[in-house]
Copies of this chain bind each other. A is one copy, B any other.
Amino acid sequence: MGTSPSANRGPIVILTDFGYRDHYAGVMKGVIASIAPQASVVDLTHGIAPQQVLAGALALREAVGFFPRRTIFLGVIDPGVGTDRKPIAVETKSGACLVGPDNGLLWLAAERAELKKIVELRTASYRLPQVSASFHGRDIFAPAAAWLWRGLPLDKLGPQLPAMMELRPAGVVEDQRKLRGEIIYIDAFGNLISNISRVEFERFASRCQQSRLLIKFKRCSSLALSRAYGEGAHGAPLAIFGSFDLLEIAVRDGNAAKHFNATLGASVLIHSVGPRTTSL
């Protein structure tokens, strides 16, 4: 079938919103084991909330840099399965491939790993013989990932596409004295991850160097910026640049989402108080 075995592949890494109750993710691994029995398969997570494409996209972006270069990422959060959204595979400059629906799920990871080429998964011989309209993870995406792992060139999977769907978290809004962000991801500890990157925060801070910065979230008008989750008093809220390198709201030994009763989209405000900043 035009493939060459390739010993130095990374693993096939799976992310879905299938949860852990059913056999669905397991069945995808069965399909992979049938096509590429030597492939090592890693569960990134199957616990993304149902249909939360952006959460999955963020998780993929945060993971892509920590795996070997030639890893195959297989992402399936696919509320549009069986409709006209395209199944795609993406090759990146870093050597990683990404496989999944063209609904934005793969965009942030593709961008981080430097997108090189996109194809539509159309070649029938690299799908399961019977393709359902309800489970492309099993019938189209898992086979494609397994064939790529075996060394199949991307182009064999289908025709090249000029572009893919782009999906990004909201951007921060900045003016002279304020930086306004929002919560874009909530993790299982209840940590509230905002869209304010360390770079944006530091650039804002350097513009405001004569003044004091306050981090405001919900009823807290001045959260301490901590270096570690374990700083501050037991049960106290804090701000921290966590593993995403984004500003997070956390609670020491606690759960910030519950503490603040916070949901996605909640505002985080960085406020500069004191003498007017000089523009740089």
Contacts and interface: CB of A to CB of B under 8 A. Distances in A.
A145 to B, nearest CB: 14
Interface of A: 8, 10-11, 13, 15, 18-27, 29-31, 33-34, 37, 40-51, 59-60, 62-63, 66-68, 71, 79-83, 85, 132-135, 138, 187-189, 227-231, 240-243, 253, 255
A75 to B, nearest CB: 11
Q: State the number of copies, please.
A: 3
Given A11-B33, A229-B82, A43 B26 contact: yes
The 3 closest A-B pairs by CB, nearest first: A82-B228, A19-B188, A26-B44
B47 A26 contact: no
A43 to B, nearest CB: 6
A51 B253 contact: yes
Contact of A255 (B50, B63, B68, B240): B50
16 contacts: A11-B33, A20-B188, A21-B48, A21-B49, A21-B187, A22-B59, A23-B44, A26-B43, A83-B228, A83-B230, A132-B242, A134-B228, A134-B241, A134-B243, A135-B242, A135-B243
